[in-house]
A and B are shown apart, each in its own frame.
Chain A
Amino acid sequence: MRTITVSLEPVAGGITLFYAFVNGEKVIQEEGNKKRVWKDKIPNSQAIIKVRVVGVGRAKYKLGIDLPGTANDQSLTFSLEGGYHETEILL
């Protein structure tokens, strides 16, 4: 088992909802008005992280992933398109 931390943080514009799924299981389902963090242990096998963000226009948010040994403190900033964005990351 390894410890993973996933965070979603609003950066600019109107972010309404944050969702994060790890291997299909919903781990974050919160309003987007502040940083949301989830931390837990996952199996050593492959992990799929899917993020769905709902907001207004081209609002921006930051996705942070910390998986020691595989992805140390990685963060990416995304822009929504037409009030929505989703991304999937394989670890």
Chain B
Amino acid sequence: MRLKYCCSLFFLLGASVFAQNAKPEILPYLNGVISIKEGMFEAGAEIKINSLIIRPYFRLPMTDKKNSISEIDRFTETWASVIAVEYTKDNTRPNGPVRRFRGTFQGEWGYSDFKYYPTGDKTEESSEARNSFGCEIKLVWFSSQGKESARQFSPQIRIRYSNEWKSSDEVGVVGPPNNNGVVYTTNMVIDEPKALPIFSPAFSFQYYPGRGNFSYAPAVYFDLKGKLNSYNPFNNLGRIRIELWTFFYPIIEGNPNIKIGAAPFLSMRAFGKDGLRPVEYGAQLGFRLGTTFLQFF
């Protein structure tokens, strides 16, 4: 690879960190669930009935990601109530191959009250209450011969649709000169909130070759975005993204299930226009704690 492409890859390198979660047991069939994931705080319950797990919980954005602080007040822009239903079918027996399937459906709903100042005057406030919603389906298969050095396969599908309302960006509004003739600006939101419909099907194929501490996962995403304030996600922009992940599982006594990943990616615009180039490329790093080979999306 030529030097300039290597340099471009370096500058486009992105990094993501995923945090821990905890599940204190409340009753034999009921666990509490608390987690911090991708800058969001989640808390709720987990009810287990045979092969079915039902998880109702709340999700709040971190107001201060560095200090992991979540705050609920009148400025809390978005919060969501979520219900997830997970079904597992496992055909593994005392001998023979290991075969497993897990299907998850998740529905999300959030209600937010957005304030803004259309005239650029703090004394003339407007507010609009909006409902955001989303749903997601994840299907995960696992297959292995169930013996030493056997290859392991896990094809996975994720389909997600969301329509989330967000506050418009703050802008600087120039005020009248004060008594000394000084002109100053005040930052405020002057536009009404906007909703972006997104539909994102994705496929990945987890593969472990049966030896070593590395697994591999090519993944393809098709991200479709619709026009603002509509429900149709198919009429504005489509980008296809290909990621080629390699995961390393370090063996550290007392700290199991750490997964360190790196992936080059290629993002291509299929239709529509956005602020990015038609073809973007770069690399990503991922670091996960308390995870497994099966957990990708």
- Residues on A facing B (Cβ under 8 Å): 10-17, 19, 21, 24, 26, 29, 31-34, 50, 52, 54-61, 81-86
Contact = CB atoms under 8 A, between A and B. Distances in A.
Contact of A29 (B92, B150, B294, B295): B92
Most interface-central of B23, B98, B251, B252 (chain A CB within 10 A): B251
A24 B55 CA distance: 31
A34 B25 CA distance: 13
A29 B102 CA distance: 12
Chain B contact-residue range equals: 35 or more
B293 A56 contact: yes
Contacts, number: 120
B294 to A, nearest CB: 6
11 contacts: A13-B252, A13-B257, A14-B249, A14-B293, A29-B90, A32-B292, A33-B257, A52-B94, A54-B98, A81-B149, A83-B152
What secondary structure prevails in chain B residues at the interface with A?
loop
B208 to A, nearest CB: 6
Interface of B: 23, 88, 90, 92-94, 98, 100, 142, 144, 146-150, 152, 208, 210-215, 249-259, 290-295
Contacts of B251: 12-13, 57-60
A84 B145 CA distance: 10
Given A13-B213, A57-B212, A52 B98 contact: yes
Contact of B292 (A14, A52, A82, A85): A14
Contacts of A34: 23, 290
A83 B210 contact: yes
A32 B148 contact: no
B177 to A, nearest CB: 62
B92 A52 contact: yes
